[in-house]
Amino acid sequence: MKTFKGRTAVITGAASGFGLEASRIAAGLGMNIVMADVQQDALDRAASEIESLGASVLPYRLDVSKAGEVEAMAAATKQRFGAPHFVFNNAGVASGGLIWEHTLKDWDWVLGVNLMGVVHGVRAFTPMMLEAAAKDPGYEGHITNTASMAGMVNMPNMGAYNVSKHGVVSLSETLYQDLCLVTDQIRASVLCPYFVSTGIHHSHRNRPADMQEDAKPTKSQLVAQALSDKAIGSGKVSAAQVAQYVFDAVRDSRFYVWSHPHALSSVQTRLEDVAQSRNPSNPFKERPEIGERLKRDLREAG
Ligand SMILES: NC(=O)c1ccc[n+]([C@@H]2O[C@H](COP(=O)([O-])OP(=O)(O)OC[C@H]3O[C@@H](n4cnc5c(N)ncnc54)[C@H](O)[C@@H]3O)[C@@H](O)[C@H]2O)c1
């Protein structure tokens, strides 16, 4: 997609992190923006900031895990701006701990937002975009889904998140292939960030009441939270840079969007494990002290 001015972006998770930075860039490019998020107060603040940059904004409060709410947001988008050109299915949440200690509510919440949220976005918007493309040979569209490096490798102690993000990578690669079968006017990307300082390590702020646990967090969940606080807090690449990479990839029709390309060696190791039928490699080979610390903390838990 080469032209942005006067066109429409739909961004989920727009009240914080990558979504807010993407909204800032979209405003600078002269786009109309549907800013969708579950957190009303943050959304109100973000939308008024983006409006003050001169953009036409439709702020929309929704929970992306709910198909009906995403469909209603798609209808509101069409009514206000027509079919969108750029859809950024980006809202997501994180939760850690040993995989057998995730509760059913943990699985429902993480898969519901991270994976089904993207499914709902793709189902609601792709037909609308294809219809616009069929009517107008000048129409260009792009769908970017936010996965993670956790969709490319499997770090321990964050199983539900890994599963959700591998699902988003698979969905996005398939979306890319399916779009190529039917149109030259719409393309897709997948964003795979490594650790970047955003609000993601405080995801529980938006965990709905019916997904809350009565039980206290387990030792492995506390260890995961402490590790992610540290890793996210010390991220060197900014959310604004990552959002710029997203737009660069849309402009260049590039599918994979990395925040930390040097971390791709871990993806290569995993793919070599698969191709050579090797058992999964130690994910902490580069930073053995982290692996040792994690082992010690978890074994101390008894
Ligand atoms: N920051 C990182 O290090 C990192 C790394 C890899 C992947 N990601 C992914 O990037 C995406 C954006 O996260 P971020 O890092 O900007 O975090 P963030 O917490 O700053 O932003 C996420 C936004 O999503 C919203 N959200 C949460 N649940 C929602 C729901 N059910 N419906 C609608 N909106 C909802 C939140 O209110 C928040 O505004 C997520 O998919 C996340 O998994 C982040």
Per residue in 155-211, pLDDT (tens digit) is: 999 999 999 999 999 999 999 999 999 999 999 999 999 999 999 999 999 999 999
Q: Is 21 in the pocket of ligand 1 (CB under 6 A)?
A: no
* HEC assignment per residue over 73-100: HHHHHHHHHCCCCEEEECCCCCCCECHH
Spatial separation of the C-alpha atoms in residues 18 and 189, rounded to whole Å: 15
Largest CA distance in the chain: 63
Per residue in 75-94, pLDDT (tens digit) is: 999 999 999 999 999 999 99
Specify whether 194 is catalytic: no
**Side chain identity, residue 116:** M
How many angstroms separate the alpha carbon of residue 292 from the centre of ligand 1?
29
pLDDT at residue 287, as a whole number = 85
Instruction: Provide the token pair at 93.
Output: 């949440």
Q: Is 220 in the pocket of ligand 1 (CB under 6 A)?
A: no
Q: Is 190 in the pocket of ligand 1 (CB under 6 A)?
A: no
How many angstroms separate the alpha carbon of residue 43 from the centre of ligand 1?
13
Spatial separation of the C-alpha atoms in residues 284 and 281, rounded to whole Å: 9
pLDDT at residue 302, as a whole number = 53
How many angstroms separate the alpha carbon of residue 204 from the centre of ligand 1?
11
Q: Is 113 in the pocket of ligand 1 (CB under 6 A)?
A: yes
**Side chain identity, residue 197:** S
Q: Is the dihedral of CA 56, 62, 64, 69 positive or negative?
A: negative
Ligand 1: atom nearest CA of 202 is 19
pLDDT at residue 39, as a whole number = 98
Q: Is 32 in the pocket of ligand 1 (CB under 6 A)?
A: no
Q: Which of 161, 194, 245, 256 is catalytic?
A: 161
Angle of helix 17-28 relative to helix 239-252, nearest 10 degrees, comes to 60
Residue in the block written with tokens 């070599």:
272
DSSP 242-288: HHHHHHHHHHHT-SEEES-GGGHHHHHHHHHHHHTTPPPPPTTSS-H
Q: How many CB atoms lie within 10 A of CB 239?
A: 22
Low-confidence ranges of the chain (pLDDT < 70): 301-302
**Number of residues assigned to the chain:** 302
